[in-house]
Structure 1
Amino acid sequence: MYLTTREIKLVSEIFAVLADALPEQLMRQEVGVRMLDLLRADYLGSYVWDDEKKEFVNRVSFNMSDDNLSEYEQYYQYRDTVTPLLQNCRQAVRVSDVIPQTELVRTELFNDFLRRDGLHWGMDVFAWSGNDNIGDLRIWRGKKRDNFSDNDLALAELIRPAFTAALARARTAAGLSKPASPNVPLISQGVLKKLTARESEVVGLIVEGLLDKEIAHRLGISYTTVRTHIDRSFQKLDVSSRSKLIRVLQAEAR
């Protein structure tokens, strides 16, 4: 497989994220945004399978409607006949490899869920640790784009083993036998002194793996205010991303 300079850079970034001891949900977020760039895709959803409840939980998403995803979680996932076919695959797979596109576009899942956000061509990466499905990446392109190529599939498969190993490490570190809140590193007094009380709250929720909108909901403040606190915290701690923030907090806590 030939990699361009751009692809080598993005793959290296993804492997660097996977090598960090990040909370599971934050790790999926950091990897997901880079996979979108690597595969020139438009949308991403990511879940963890809860085998007791028989449902997908702990959503991470990019460029998809929260309302639409909530409907999937409350209704469509229990009537979805396509995802179980993909979930059984132990390697990266295009949606069109398990169901012809002409059939997919006639399903309720496509017409009442996927199409609402513009999802058309899909590729899934399901991470399996033994008999446990411990996470996934569902990557989509819009209708005006081409389907994923064999090279795109090979790139996703290149990432899959390291993605699986990183998810397994995160679950082991947190002592998880099922999806739950990630292990939270301690925030040292040295870090707290640099931040305001509200900034400390926001940073603490970032460490828990919450996304910006979830932090806004938890604290009862606007999304814009959350972004302001995050930007100021990053400046004060001299970091530029969530993954670098976690590394700083872990180093301070030792």
Structure 2
Amino acid sequence: MGILEGKNVLVAGVTLNTSIGFAAAKVAQEQGATVVVSNFGRAMGITRRVIKKLPTEPALLELNVSDADHLAALPEALGEHVDRLDGIVHSIAFGNPETALGGKFLDTPWEDVGTAVQVSAYSLKSLTMACRPLLTRGSSVVGLTFDATIAWPGYDWMGVAKAALESTSRYLAKYLGPEGIRSNLVAAGPLESLAKKAIPGTEKYNEVWSERAPLGWDATDFEPTAKAVVALLSDWFPATTGEIVHVDGGVHAVGA
């Protein structure tokens, strides 16, 4: 019996099979969960093909977390597949690579900053609130971050957005804790995902991790991060909330 046996989980933001969201959906299914995934727009076609590679093809919902109508319709859409929601995986972020990333920090217009913060951080709150009617005591919300305690080369306004995401998770933990709902984040090291490839200069991150990770680091292996996500979704962390679990080979804990 898996650690998510009998649980229902929404994984929001699955595009390619080279993504943490896809890996989390796979491990969640292997651990017994019924999984529903989401994406929106033109990416839906890609997602529809990719999820056929999962152990069981999950239901796919169209969900743009910046669209109020999509969020309002989410409980009913989820209700067609599950009677409650035990977990949410927030695997969503966006920063315009032309203006908000790659060393353009000082010149980024507010419109692009606002988009990065809304999609990458505020959406953790808006998605959770949209799902709230289906959440129960013991439900778990898990988001994904890239350690926002320092400034990374080229990460720029996405780093600011991730800092906002980390703070948002702590406030969700504060306000939803009395309902028995947990909110935590997983801070992964650099993985060869679509998101990483969209950020100019991130090849330098691999050099840092190859030199500094005490446990070593395989940027093509998504499973360790997915396992951490699934562990936080499970009942094995019943008194843990507002936490950031690092899955980075130990880089966050050591100096140069």
TM norm structure 1? 0.32
